[in-house]
Amino acid sequence: MNRNLAKTVFSRVIGGGTLLLLASGNPAQGAILITGQEIGNDVVFSYEGSINLTDLNMFGSSNVTGGINPFLGAFSFVGGLSDVDTDNYFPTITGPAAFGSGNLTSPLASLNSGNVFVFFPSINLIAFAQGYSGDNISGSMTFNDTDFATLGVDNSQDYTWTLGNNETIRLSFLAPPTAVPEPSVILGSMMVLGVGRMMNKRNQNSSRNLQ
């Protein structure tokens, strides 16, 4: 894909030239692991890993905004910035076409942190912050007051994509965290249990005295 065509496709797919996407274990070297999780009333996507840029050719740059596009299988992690300029690579990418039916998520991610990482398999695009050289990177983005269903994300399975140089991108989902009782609730329950045992013992003593 030549540079001008790549930029034209990139702008037309996302509409207006601004990327409207979104987008821990220990991923292996040469792979990036993305995880999605519903936490309370929010949805959090995070990633960690690295990509070997060997055999990947850079073609131009783009200005991107944090978000996801499940219908196009796309993520855009922009770190703590509202938007950022990236170095773009266009390797062959094989794998699923989508990870849900949601299209051009709006509003954008409520909170972004970490390093820049953009993945857009439908146009064979992967992008990083300008100057990225293959180091380990990580980041996250949060969508407030929503869930996977509302975002159009299919979290019933994991998804794996492979780049032309055999590097991999994997998306998996975590179960919602188990709520931990507040210390005051635990203390209150212990006090109630203690009072109950005292009352039971008193009743037993009273019964013995009556016999």
pLDDT band at residue 20, thresholds of 50, 70 and 90?
very low
pLDDT band at residue 166, thresholds of 50, 70 and 90?
very high
Q: What is the mean pLDDT of the chain?
A: 80
Residue extents of the structural domains in the chain: 3-174, 181-211
Mean per-residue pLDDT, 47-72? 90
Q: Of 193 and 182, which is predicted with more confidence? A: 182
- The predicted pLDDT at position 13 comes to 40
Position 51 pLDDT exceeds 70:
yes
DSSP 121-161: GGGTEEEEETT--S--EEEEEEESS--HHHHTB--SS-EEE
